Each structure stands twice: as C-alpha cells, then as structure tokens.
Structure 1
Amino acid sequence: MTAAIVLASTSPYRQQVLEKLKLPFTTYSPEVDETPLENESPYELVLRLAKLKAAAGAAQHPDSIIIGSDQVAVINGSIIGKPHTREKAIEQLCMASGQAITFYTGLALHNSSSGQIEAIVEPFTVHFRTLTHQQICRYIDIEQPLYCAGSFKSEGLGIALFEKLEGKDPNTLIGLPLISLIDLLHLQGINVL
C-alpha cells in the first residue's frame, strides 16, 4: 500500500505546483510559529520551519508522507516578506530594482509511519531589471502581489520584472521545488512516473 501524500500548506500556489506531479494529495494548515530565532540565518530558518510544518501533522495523518515547505526572500542581507499593502509592495520592488534577490526554500518530507524526515534548502536567485516608479506601480496595480514574498508573481506578469533567473528549478520560486521533491519522494518509495 502506498502512503498518502499530504501537503502541509494551504497556499493555492504550492497546491498548483504540486498538482503538476499528478499525484493525489490532501492539505492541512500546519499552524507553526514562523518567527525567526535570534541570530538564525535565512537558510536555517526555512530548514527549521519546513521540518516543523511537515512534522506538525504526523499525528493527524498516520501512514502518510507529509510535505512541508517554507520560503524567504533575501535582499542585501535582509529578509523581506509578504508586503500586505500596496505601499509596502512599491517599497519592496523599488528596493529590488536593479538588484539580485535570493529566495531560500526549505523542503521537508516527514514519513509519519517511520518518523523519518528528509530535508533540503534550495536557493533561487532573481535578477531584477532596473525599473521605473511608474512600471512598479503599474505592475502592482495589475497583478496585486500583496501576499507574495518579494511583491511579485513569477508565474504571471512578474516575469517582466526580471533580467535573469538562476536556479535548479523555477518551481522553487513559487515555493515548492519539484525536482528536489521528486528525489525525496523517490527515497520514500514513491515513483512519480
């Protein structure tokens, strides 16, 4: 019998990415405190949170493979999150203009039967074009990326903001690195194909 797959996220973006693998899965909200610890690096933060999210549902989801993921964006050494307001989105994209932003995505698989957990952190770097204030405002008004780290949606018009993308898997930018996920699933005996 194959273990059930559970995504520890209610993010519609992560769900859409996972649907690409054509595997049945359910979701749950992991209810994890995402506050960074003192002196915790972005890498350490996303690794810890991905593991916590994956492990949080083990009791409710026996005989399951639980996928946890967390992501932060870093510009000039500072973590930037979801803007939540138009003004903050404008500020974030002005800061990103002409710069490179690195996204760190933590990915963890928790086998609730064995207690085994596998986890990785995958970086992905976005090089922004030099943008005018008018371009930034127009983009934000069209796409409304107020609940996206970095204030853009790469799967939409946000691609127009970039000069170059660097990373192993473009799905990483949306919050779920599928290439690495396929590898981790394989370690748990799940062959996507």
Structure 2
Amino acid sequence: MVRASSTPAPTLSPQFCFNERLLRDFLTLSRSTIDDSITQNLNALVTPARAGFDPSSTSIRQTDSPAHKTIDPVACQNFKDRVLFPSWQTRSDVLTYCAGVATSPDPEDPDLLLRQTESARDRERVVDERLDPYSARFFPREARTESLANLVRNQRSVEEIIRARTWGLVLERCGGGVDSSSGWEEALNRWRERSQR
C-alpha cells in the first residue's frame, strides 16, 4: 500500500522566496500530494479485509463504497499527526518566512536603480493634462518585495480554503474524536503543542 508523505521542506533563503515560480511550485506540489488527493489518501487508510475474506460477499452487490466507511481512529490520528499536520506546518513555515523576507529591506533588488531613475524622471516631468489627458498616468515598477508580499497574501488565502475543505473531509471520514468539534486551526495548534513536548 502506498502511503502519502508530506513534501520535504525547501531550504529557506531570500532567493527561494524571490523566485516566485519556485515558491508556487513547492506549494502546488505539497497541496497536490496531500490536500488535492485527500480522498485517495483517506481511502488508503481503510482496511476492508481486516476480518478476513468472506466468499459470500461476492454474491451480493456491495453498495457501500469506501468513501462512506469510517476509518480506524488510530489510523486517522496517525495520518493527521505524521502526514497532514506536518505538511500544513511546512507550508505555514515557508509562507511565514517569505512574508518576513517581503517586509525586510531588499538592498539586492536588481530593479532598484531603474525604479529610482524612473521616480526621479517622473518628479521632473511637467504634465499638461489639457494636451494629453493620459500623461498624468504613471505606473511605477513594483518592487520585488511588494510582488512577493502580494503572492504570500494570495497563497495564504488559498491555504485557508484548501485546509477548510480538507479538514471537512477528514472529519467526515474519520468520525468523532478529539478534533471533531474543532476547526482545522485549533487541531493544528494542538498538534503543534503535542509535537513540541
């Protein structure tokens, strides 16, 4: 049986964060491995032949699919503790780190000099809007820290949606338990506390 595992954490550096394609690719891969395939991951936890094979079970069509069977609570808890929560934590760590990079000064910005030149040129420009009503429009280049901050903000919103969906499916399939009355944030925080002991 193939078991899901969380995507290994990347080496965090400002270069990793500023390479927005690489950052997006990591988040996409992590989500597709765990959250996007949550139904398959949960189905893999169901062990239908635990009691042994019953030959008479083939004489009647089985209408109850694995999607409607509750999963062994121990298997569910192990999946959450060893796969789901570590994956979420890794993505949270990456987004938090990159948010810090986005709010830090960026002396190595390759477009810094170009933006400063454009800004100086723009201040010297005389605009007569009667002659050219569009001349007052100036779209300054966005600093790469601003672009990264927007990306992190968008990805955090995506995380909220994906985690809520995943958590709903986990609760539905795993039945009751310690986490059944809480949201994913509270369950993740409890896992963090348990794993720090």
**TM-score grouping bracket, smaller chain normalisation:** under 0.3
TM-score (norm 2): 0.25
Q: Which has the higher helix share?
A: 2
Larger radius of gyration: 2
Tell me the TM-score normalised to structure 1 length. 0.26
> Bigger relative contact order, structure 1 or 2, given CA contacts below 8 A and separation 6+?
2
